[in-house]
């Protein structure tokens, strides 16, 4: 339970504190020119590079995929961002703005060609507050007001125009008080995400221990099979003997009565890092569901993307329909859908390994036709489900709470930025 009770009255103060953003900037610099940071500069580990994938939220994330040598980074020293700096995307997914938290994994980062970095006067600016402001509708409008309207989205004269943005900042103490409310929500969201990551790793480790390494069964006899040595009493069966691939479909897009209803409509865009999908970009109506080739799939159904972003999978967090670029993996017998999700996840890894690094253009039923899995006796599956089902129930509960916290934070954000009165319990 997070209790939030706050009252801020700085409407009059706001009128007297409108300045150009440049007043608060100590340093600002763009990422390196493309010719100075080519693909052949990248190394497997070293000095981290920030790109758009690290600017998905308020804080820069440490899911780093690109590195350069320390020597190369130092040669581009003007493009190095440090803790408490703000990073803004110049081209591509414009409007992205995040800050490097003081507990970041690295002390320094090289920003990519598509970003610029800013150092603010922290005696006047509480950086998290400013970033929260630029995530409001008003703040985003000010950044996007100098984006070009043709071709690839990009900010025009980004450094100059960013410094000329008019901002209203309350005093530093008020900034910190406001941001602390939002940070308390974000801290809980981050904690839930860490817990879920650990729970998912536990479930994956349990699956590997039982069904790949056979750790609980090594005292028994192992027998040879077409997939190698397996415990006696186990068998090798076709994957499609325990599951079936179910299809989806899209209602006609020109019939408005089919859309914007209460039924989530899953597409590959809705696959996130979580094991569950809880909210989708599009919704359809009951009438739309009745006029497409998808049925309403139940919670814990595994969805796998078959085209576009191929081979990504997750479970439905609530009942939802899906489009034709996915398959739903549905059990054909009394197997827990959570266990089927883990089996499917392992099978996708196997398919990708067989492809020898090739990129899937699509996954079809033929890809599953010849695939076999190791099947334990039903009693083993039941026992395993009794262990892992509660893990995924906990994950789903955390995902739902995280969504509620995110929606509350986003609703609260503009009111706090304008000095509104807030009193609520969550």
Count of helices and strands (H, E) across the chain: 10, 24
Residue 155 and residue 263 in one domain: no
Question: In CATH, what number is assigned to the domain containing residue 119?
Answer: 3.90.220.20
Give the pTM: 0.86
- Which residue in this structure is represented by tokens 């939002």? 182
DSSP for 8-56, written as a single string: ---HHHHHT-EEEGGGGEEEEEEPPPGGGS-GGG-BSSSEEEE-GGG-S
pLDDT of residue 422: 46
Number of domains in the chain: 2
Last residue of a domain, one of 337, 359, 375: 375
pLDDT of residue 426: 44
26 within 8 A of 119, measured Cβ to Cβ: yes
At 218, the pLDDT band (50, 70, 90 cuts) reads: confident
Residue 187 located in a structural domain: no
For residue 233, give the nearest of 243, 219, 223 by alpha carbon. Answer: 223
- The two three-digit tokens of residue 196, written as one number: 């879920």
Residue 318 located in a structural domain: yes
**Structural domain boundaries enclosing 131:** 18-168
- pLDDT tens profile 103-135: 999 999 999 999 999 999 999 999 999 999 999
- The two three-digit tokens of residue 317, written as one number: 């967090």
User: What's the whole-number mean pLDDT along residues 152-158?
Assistant: 91
pLDDT of residue 122: 96
Residue 144 located in a structural domain: yes
At 310, the pLDDT band (50, 70, 90 cuts) reads: confident
Residue 159 and residue 30 in one domain: yes
């Amino acid at each position: 339970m997070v209790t939030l009770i706050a009252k801020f009255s700085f409407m009059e103060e706001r009128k007297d504190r409108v300045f150009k953003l440049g007043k608060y900037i100590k340093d600002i610099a763009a990422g390196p020119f493309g010719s100075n940071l080519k693909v052949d500069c990248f190394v497997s580990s070293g000095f981290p590079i920030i790109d758009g994938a690290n600017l998905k939220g308020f804080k820069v994330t440490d899911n780093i995929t690109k590195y350069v040598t320390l020597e190369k980074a130092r040669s581009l020293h003007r493009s190095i961002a440090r803790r408490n700096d703000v990073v803004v995307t110049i081209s591509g997914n414009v409007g992205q703005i995040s800050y490097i938290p003081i507990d970041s994994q690295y002390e320094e980062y090289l920003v990519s060609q598509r970003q610029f970095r800013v150092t603010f006067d922290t005696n006047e600016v509480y950086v998290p507050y400013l970033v929260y402001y630029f995530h409001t509708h008003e703040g985003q409008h000010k950044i996007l007001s100098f984006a070009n309207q043709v071709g690839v989205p990009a900010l025009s004269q980004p450094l100059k125009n960013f410094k000329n943005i008019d901002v209203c900042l309350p005093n530093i103490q008020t900034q910190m008080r406001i941001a602390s409310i939002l940070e308390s929500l974000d801290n809980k969201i981050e904690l839930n995400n860490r817990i879920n990551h650990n729970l998912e790793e536990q479930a994956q480790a349990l699956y590997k221990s039982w069904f790949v390494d056979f750790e609980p069964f090594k005292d028994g006899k192992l027998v040879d099979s077409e997939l190698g040595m397996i415990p006696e009493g186990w068998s090798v069966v076709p994957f499609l003997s325990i599951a079936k691939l179910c299809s989806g479909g899209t209602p006609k897009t020109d019939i408005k009565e089919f859309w914007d209803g209460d039924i989530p409509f899953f597409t590959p865009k809705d696959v996130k890092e979580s094991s569950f999908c809880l909210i989708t970009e599009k919704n359809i109506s009951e009438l739309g569901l009745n006029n497409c080739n998808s049925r309403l799939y139940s919670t814990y159904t595994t969805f796998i993307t078959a085209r576009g972003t191929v081979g990504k999978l997750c479970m439905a967090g609530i009942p939802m329909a899906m489009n034709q670029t996915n398959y739903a993996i549905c059990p054909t017998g009394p197997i827990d859908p959570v266990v089927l999700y883990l089996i499917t996840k392992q099978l996708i890894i196997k398919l990708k390994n067989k492809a020898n690094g090739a990129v899937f253009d699509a996954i079809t039923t033929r890809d599953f036709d010849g695939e076999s899995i190791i099947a334990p006796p039903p009693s083993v599956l039941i026992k395993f489900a009794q262990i892992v089902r509660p893990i995924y129930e906990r994950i789903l509960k955390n995902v739902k709470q995280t969504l509620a916290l995110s929606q509350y934070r986003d609703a609260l954000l503009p009111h706090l930025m304008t000095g509104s009165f807030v009193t609520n319990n969550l």
